[in-house]
Amino acid sequence: MFARIGRVVVHHPWRVIAVWLAAAVAVVALAPKLTATTDEASFLPSHYESIQALDLQQKAFPQAATPAAIIVLERRDGAPLTAADSRAVASVGQALAGERIENVTAVQTAPATGNKKIQIISVQMPKPEGTQGKNQTDAVKALRSALPDHLRGTDLRGGITGTAAQNLDGQEAGSKAEAITGAATIGLILVLLLVIFRSPIIALLPVVTIGAVSQIATGLIGWANDVFDLKTDSSVSSMLIVVLFGVGTDYILFLMFRYRERLRAGEDSKTAMVSAITRVGEAISSAAGAVIIAFLALLLSTLALFRSLGPALAIAVATTLLAGLTLIPAVVSLLGTKVFWPSKAWRQEPKGARFAAIGASMGRHPGRFAAVSGLLLVVLAAFSLGFHSNFDLSGGSIPKGAESTVWQKELLKGLPAGATEPSDVYLRSKTGTPLAQADLAAYKAKLAGVDGVGNVADPVLSKDRTVADFRVTLAEKPESSAAIKTVKGPLRDTAHDAAPPGTTAVVGGITSVFVDIQAAVNHDYAVVFPVAAVLIMVILGLLLRSVVAPWYLMASVGLGFAATLGASVLIFQQLKGEPGLIFMLPVIMYLFVVALGTDYNILMIARLREEAREGRSPREAAALSVRYAGPTVAAAGLILAGTFASLMLAGGSTLLQMGFAISAGIAIAAFVMALFFTPAVTALIGHAAWWPGHADAPARGPESEAAGAGEATAQATRHR
């Protein structure tokens, strides 16, 4: 099949390129724009308690809302606010209300806090419109523009925080992150490819071709989101850039290394490209298939965040694979050997002394290589036992210097940490009769006695008095582990158990959402991980015609995942002192490390099989595979790890942790598993690794004879 694809592409390159250009123009013109949301509640299904509380709130208190923005004011010298300062704050509130800013429905000035350190002005807005909540973010921009003028001439300073302000800062940080990530990714690819091939044409090849492919992939993802009503997290755009360029460059490397090898074997440029697609097409397709299936396994997640992330990344990889098998070969077949200009190094087989020495040593001592690389993975994996989750999805994507982050911290000088995002306990009459005042007072007292609760406001009743809203301010930050434990345990338990006869209670608010996200993620660990692993094993089994090799390959990748998680825990929790890793990190990291890490295992194991089918012993096959496939794996791993590492430049702990974890996982997959562990273990197991298909048996037939002749020519060329 791949030989047929190669012949069609090589003999009709202009038609292939024209089809891709037409597809790009059509998709860019017609596809909807890819939008994102930072609303964590929108990711949960309706059976979770936090969503039930949200539905009840919307029915019973349609006009009630937590302030979308909070203006925090304090004295410039840090001293307590005076009576004159409080009057100035009230004047600022009145002046802002008089501005009649669009989408600002109410401006309310609260009294100074008990310690007089701060005073706040609450700003109400309509519900966010669209996935970006543009009505609220535009209002925050206007408020931030107007506030300095009204503070001029006073002893006050202030800033704006709250949900709407955090969303605005998150979007601005996301746009900046996307620009930084894109520039860093493209720059890294250009530099590394120039170093590897010494050709500006090859360096520009992925930038130009994948740049066009990315437009098609983004458009297809936008259509998929619209058709299936999927919600995309705000970090997806940055991840798409590195997936498209990183994975795409990997596939180009796999192809170009083999193309150069066939040229050195004496084939003309067109025949060499057909041979390259024939020989590497199955490995690339299997690798991409593993990635796509792993991503699609996220459709089994209970979180809409992961259910939309999976198809988005799967579409990106599938589009990149198609380009790697058609568009890239078409362009290269037009250029021929000029693609390597001005370098002449493609004509001669390099000595490859470093990889040849490593391969030869492994061939002699595979047990040592397996033991050392395995021990390294085990040591790192041990640190994963200390993993803790952090659920601050929006805050994690906002730089520490952003206005909403700075003034959120200032707010804590005078109010409990949970003041900006209070929890709500909704008490509802099951019979439809009004709630009794005595019951409400007793219920409030029980809620106030819960450990971790800072304050409980007097209940607000619905119009028919059948639902009461008890606003609960937690003592800790809403996204903190302490707050999550409070809501998950004592607050929910007390709210349910202390409900008067004939009533039911549900706990809502952002912390309740985090509690339910934690439960959903635990479900996903138990479902998504095994399904993805089994499906990838099936692909490996079909590729290798073996039931033995897939087991130790997946075991090595699983160990690599644990080692990557352990390295992340070591860096961020133990060395940097952060309270935890972003809650979605293990799922994303597992899929990237397992799926993309399997790419390198597949490339190496396919080369091991190819060398074995040439009649070489398991140890000789391992030695030659490291010698000839090692440079490809090392170059591809370096580029892909580097592109994901560019996420660390974007700012915000979410992308910092993602960038480190995924790049570290890919580096471990390429430089520990694929280069050392996999070939060493395969050499130790020997022919049994290919049972029952014995794919290492020498091939027979016209095609294999032709391949053998080509390989003989290649060997002769290597030894000239």
pLDDT reading at 130 higher than 80:
no
pLDDT computed for residue 476 by the predictor: 85
pLDDT computed for residue 715 by the predictor: 41
> In the chain, what percentage of residues exceed pLDDT 70?
88
The predicted-structure confidence for 437-480, as pLDDT tens digits, reads as follows 999 999 999 999 999 998 898 998 999 999 999 999 998 888 78
Q: Please state which of the ranges 373-377, 435-439, 500-504, 647-651 shows the lowest mean pLDDT.
A: 647-651
pLDDT computed for residue 159 by the predictor: 93
Could you give phi then psi for residue 467, rounded to 5 degrees?
A: -135, 135
The predicted-structure confidence for 540-570, as pLDDT tens digits, reads as follows 888 778 888 888 888 888 888 899 999 999 9
> Distances in Å between the alpha carbon of 390 and those of 12, 344, 479, 511?
53, 52, 7, 12
Name the pLDDT band for 80 (thresholds 50, 70, 90): very high
3-class SS at 459?
coil
The predicted-structure confidence for 586-616, as pLDDT tens digits, reads as follows 877 876 777 677 778 888 888 888 888 888 8
Q: Say which DSSP state 669 is in.
A: I
3-class SS at 479?
coil
pLDDT reading at 14 higher than 90:
yes
Query: Given its phi and psi angles, is residue 162 left (phi above 0), alpha (psi -120 to 50 degrees) or beta?
Result: left
User: Considering all CA atoms of the chain, what is the largest pairwise distance in Å, rounded to the nearest integer?
Assistant: 97
> Distances in Å between the alpha carbon of 308 and those of 129, 224, 295, 363?
20, 9, 10, 45
Of residues 293 and 242, more confidence is placed in: 293
> Distances in Å between the alpha carbon of 306 and those of 24, 231, 441, 601?
27, 9, 42, 26
Stated as kind and residue range, the H or E segment containing 157 is strand 156-161
Name the pLDDT band for 703 (thresholds 50, 70, 90): very low
Single pTM value for the model: 0.74
pLDDT computed for residue 349 by the predictor: 66
Q: Write down the mean pLDDT value for the chain.
A: 83
pLDDT computed for residue 424 by the predictor: 93
In sequence order, which residues have a C-beta less than 8 Å from that of residue 25 and are 6 or more positions away?
A: none
pLDDT computed for residue 236 by the predictor: 62
The predicted-structure confidence for 19-66, as pLDDT tens digits, reads as follows 988 888 888 888 777 655 545 545 577 788 998 998 898 888 876 656
DSSP characters over 556-575: HHHHHHHHHHHHHIIIIIII
Confirm if 97 and 109 have CB atoms less than 8 A apart.
no
Most confidently predicted of 21-30, 394-403, 516-525, 672-681: 672-681
**Residue in 503, 469, 506 with CA at minimum distance from that of residue 491:** 506
- Mean pLDDT over 333-354 rounds to 78
pLDDT computed for residue 286 by the predictor: 82
Partners of 503 in the beta sheet?
429
> Distances in Å between the alpha carbon of 485 and those of 185, 450, 456, 474, 516?
39, 12, 18, 11, 12
pLDDT reading at 392 higher than 70:
no
**Residue in 454, 397, 420, 435 with CA at minimum distance from that of residue 67:** 420
Query: Given its phi and psi angles, is residue 545 left (phi above 0), alpha (psi -120 to 50 degrees) or beta?
Result: left
Query: Given its phi and psi angles, is residue 78 left (phi above 0), alpha (psi -120 to 50 degrees) or beta?
Result: left
Of residues 86 and 598, more confidence is placed in: 86
Residue type, 704: S
**Residue in 586, 562, 575 with CA at minimum distance from that of residue 668:** 562
The predicted-structure confidence for 316-335, as pLDDT tens digits, reads as follows 889 989 998 999 999 998 88
Stated as kind and residue range, the H or E segment containing 94 is helix 83-98
Q: Say which DSSP state 672 is in.
A: I
The predicted-structure confidence for 198-257, as pLDDT tens digits, reads as follows 888 888 888 888 878 888 888 888 787 777 666 555 556 666 776 777 788 888 888 888
Name the pLDDT band for 397 (thresholds 50, 70, 90): low
pLDDT computed for residue 260 by the predictor: 86
Stated as kind and residue range, the H or E segment containing 156 is strand 156-161
Helix (DSSP H) and strand (DSSP E) numbers for the chain: 25, 11
pLDDT reading at 91 higher than 90:
yes
pLDDT computed for residue 247 by the predictor: 80
Both tokens assigned to 343 = 């370098």
Partners of 473 in the beta sheet?
455
Angstrom distance (rounded) from CA 62 to CA 48: 20
- Mean pLDDT over 121-133 rounds to 76
pLDDT reading at 714 higher than 50:
no
Angstrom distance (rounded) from CA 678 to CA 681: 5
pLDDT reading at 314 higher than 90:
no
Both tokens assigned to 39 = 């609303």
Of residues 273 and 127, more confidence is placed in: 273
Angstrom distance (rounded) from CA 550 to CA 541: 6
pLDDT reading at 261 higher than 50:
yes
Name the pLDDT band for 497 (thresholds 50, 70, 90): very high
Angstrom distance (rounded) from CA 543 to CA 483: 49
Name the pLDDT band for 688 (thresholds 50, 70, 90): confident
Percent of the chain as helix, strand, coil, to the nearest 5 = 70, 10, 25
pLDDT computed for residue 704 by the predictor: 43
Could you give phi then psi for residue 78, rounded to 5 degrees?
A: 80, 0
> In the chain, what percentage of residues exceed pLDDT 90?
27
